[in-house]
Amino acid sequence: MAKIRKVVITEYGDVGVLKVADATCPPPPKGHVQIATLYSGFSGADVNMRKGIYPFMKKAPLTPGYCLVGRVTALGDECSIFNPGDIVAVLTKYDAEAELVNQPEKYCVRVKDGVDLQQAAALPCDWVTAYNMVTKYAKVARGQKVFVHGLSGAVGFAIMKISQLQGAEVYGTASQRNHAILVEHGAHPFVYTDKKWIAQMQGLGGAHAVFDPLGYESFDESYSILSPKGILVAYGNNKDSIADEGHLRSPMFALTKMLARNLNPITGKRTTFFGLNRDSSYYHPSLTTLLDMLAAGTITVPIKNVWDLEEIQTAHREWGSGTGVGSLLIKVAKD
């Protein structure tokens, strides 16, 4: 048993329930590799887990951390793909905010030498989500109009960049403080709260695809700006979590209402929900593709902030705030 430090959500609640605790990590079981975590991705999923509102989540106490990049340190029986010292990326859902973690070898993807490890750490969650929503769910194509809520966020920025690679024009909402940098990246940003984007997009004939991580009332607004055959792709449901002490609601009614719109036989508009799942057929090939794109310079992943493991409460307090674009990380390794 190796001694480690890890984040623990002791119970559901405000940032005070987050602790960095001493623990142990057992040797990797059969089919698993043991990984020394370098960076863990940090997202709204971690915040929602801390509040106890992430769909179908484990009960507390638990260790969060949805994905990681780390170094393989040991192999369980029947492991043959990796060797100790190899750098891998993996979608974990839990446990990445720990110095050592055991993960099934089949979910790990090799990170090539020379790839920026911070950027690689953002791929399994943020960019795999964006890549599959854009290319497989919405099937964004050249000449289309795409609308993204949260353009400056980790997934929102990735959606923008992948949509632009597909040849689409990108519109969306973001805090005013981030509009200038988004314009530099070729987007057309709006302020969410003044709702002017609704009339503007309707005046343009609507968006071929809308990506909405907010949920609740936002689904109705997003549906209203679809083109006659457009698709609304929902994910995240983070609207109530943006304000840390905001009122929390179950997302199920809003999701059910949104998906029920598909039962209307007289409209060509569609709705769907994307849930990230490492057991899906898209996970391994899309993460491999994105790592190749990163190595080739086809994509660049901006990193908005990196906190040390011991700063986990600060990370939760500052999530959803500040100037800048891109992904958020927890630096787990001490060196």
What's residue 242's pLDDT?
52
Interatomic CA distance for residues 141 and 209, integer angstroms: 10
The pairing of beta strand 32-42 with beta strand 100-104: antiparallel
> What percentage of the chain reaches a pLDDT higher than 90?
84
**pLDDT tens-place string over residues 112-162:** 999 999 999 999 999 999 999 999 999 999 999 999 999 999 999 999 999
Pair of tokens at residue 150: 């949260």
Q: pLDDT digits over 239-270, tens only?
A: 555 544 455 666 677 788 889 899 999 999 99
Q: What is the pTM of this model?
A: 0.93
Q: How many CA atoms lie within 13 A of 269 on its CB side?
A: 21
Phi, psi angles (nearest 5°) of residue 12: -80, 140
pLDDT of residue 70 exceeding 80, the answer is yes
The mean predicted confidence, pLDDT, of the chain is 93
Name which of 40, 67, 129, 115 is nearest 329 in CA terms: 40
pLDDT at position 255 is 80
- pLDDT digit string (tens) for 212-244? 998 778 899 999 999 999 999 999 766 555 544
CB count, 10 Å around CB of 333? Answer: 14
State what percent of residues in the chain have pLDDT above 70: 95
pLDDT at residue number 155: 96
pLDDT band at 271 (very low <50, low <70, confident <90, very high): very high
Give the Cα separation of 316 and 335 in Å (integer): 23
Per residue in 11-69, pLDDT tens? 999 999 999 999 999 999 999 999 999 999 999 889 989 988 887 789 999 999 999 99
Question: Is 275's pLDDT higher than 50?
Answer: yes
Q: Which one, of 113, 152, 147, lies nearest residue 133 by Cα? A: 147
Q: Measuring CA to CA, how many Å separate 68 from each of 36, 128, 188?
A: 10, 13, 32
Measured over the CA atoms of residue 141, residue 290, residue 302 and residue 34, the dihedral's sign is positive
For residues 92-96, average pLDDT: 96
**pLDDT at res. 244:** 46
Residue 323, pLDDT score = 85
Nearest by Cα to 310 from 19, 2, 95: 19
Q: Given this model, what pLDDT does residue 99 score?
A: 98
